[in-house]
């Protein structure tokens, strides 16, 4: 059982929904992003998604793209991202961490070395948005053999014919993208999300977490109410982009987490 599996088991036992937060490693700088990361569990975050900055983030909107650019300009790399995880793990061995990004930096490092390094650093799961199920032998299967969850995205365009393929080797949770488009593009609507979540849950026992388009505690509560939890990324990254301090960012995160946990 991974930390992700254990977290969902505890949440189910407590009758609570999950709150997942995304931050970009190294944005606006290493020390600030590490300080935010260390504060997320205390702000109510159940699972941390840590973005690996990349030059061509095709699934991301302007907010996350700019965060990645700031991180890259500050010298952030995959190696430094893993070091950030090690620094976090020095004080927290319980909170699950999902590394989210694109395949190119992993390919450049070499899959075997990458998986060994992520295990050593304390990563629990991977979301690699540009590797479809047809490429599962490339990374998904080796990652699962190494004890990592491989989390797949399902979208409004994932029809009933495609869905079983998407779910085939997914573990940890299914990340349902609430809108058609890029991150930060539109507001999520619980009425639209609910039937899609039900459709996915009819085919899997894995928790379904909904992301994209969640910016307020109210939306966080509404979306978590029709799923197993929700993810917020762009709204949190936006607070950092505005120059908000660590405590201010964490206070904002807590309002979102409280929303999800009240569902």
Residue by residue, pLDDT tens for the chain (263 residues) are 899 999 999 999 999 999 999 999 999 999 999 999 999 999 999 999 999 999 988 778 889 999 999 999 999 999 999 999 999 999 999 999 999 999 999 999 999 999 999 999 999 999 999 999 999 999 999 999 999 999 999 999 999 999 999 999 999 999 999 876 655 556 778 899 999 999 999 999 999 999 988 999 999 999 999 999 999 999 999 999 999 999 999 999 999 999 999 99
The answer, as to whether pTM is greater than 0.85, is: yes
Decide: helix, strand or coil at residue 24.
Answer: strand
Catalytic residue among 27, 46, 49, 222: 49
CA distance 59 to 195: 24
49 among known catalytic residues: yes
So what CATH class is 3-261? alpha beta
Domain map (residue ranges) of the chain: 3-261
Structure token pair of residue 62: 């302007």
Catalytic residue among 5, 46, 60, 136: 60
CA distance 102 to 99: 10
60 among known catalytic residues: yes
């Amino acid at each position: 059982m991974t930390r992700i599996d254990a977290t969902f088991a505890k949440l189910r036992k407590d009758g609570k929904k999950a709150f997942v937060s995304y931050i970009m490693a190294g944005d606006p700088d290493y020390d600030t992003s590490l300080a935010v990361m260390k504060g997320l569990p205390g702000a109510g975050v159940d699972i941390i998604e840590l973005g690996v900055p990349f030059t061509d983030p095709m699934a991301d909107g302007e907010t996350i793209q700019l965060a990645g650019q700031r991180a890259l300009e500050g010298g952030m790399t995959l190696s430094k991202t893993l070091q950030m995880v090690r620094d976090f793990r020095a004080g927290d061995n319980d909170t699950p961490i999902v590394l989210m990004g694109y395949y190119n930096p992993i390919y450049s490092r070499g899959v075997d070395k990458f998986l060994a390094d992520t295990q050593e650093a304390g990563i629990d799961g991977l979301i690699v948005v540009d590797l479809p199920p047809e490429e599962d032998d490339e990374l998904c299967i080796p990652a699962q053999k190494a004890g990592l969850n491989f989390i797949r995205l399902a979208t409004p365009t994932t029809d009933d014919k495609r869905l079983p393929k998407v779910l085939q080797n997914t573990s940890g949770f299914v990340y349902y993208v609430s809108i058609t488009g890029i991150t930060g593009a539109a507001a999520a609507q619980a009425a639209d999300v609910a039937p899609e979540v039900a459709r996915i849950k009819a085919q899997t026992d894995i928790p379904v977490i909904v992301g994209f388009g969640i910016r307020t505690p109210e939306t966080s509560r509404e979306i978590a109410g029709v799923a197993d939890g929700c993810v917020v990324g762009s709204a949190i990254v936006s607070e950092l982009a505005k120059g908000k301090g660590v405590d201010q960012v964490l206070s904002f995160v807590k309002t979102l987490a409280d929303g999800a946990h009240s569902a």
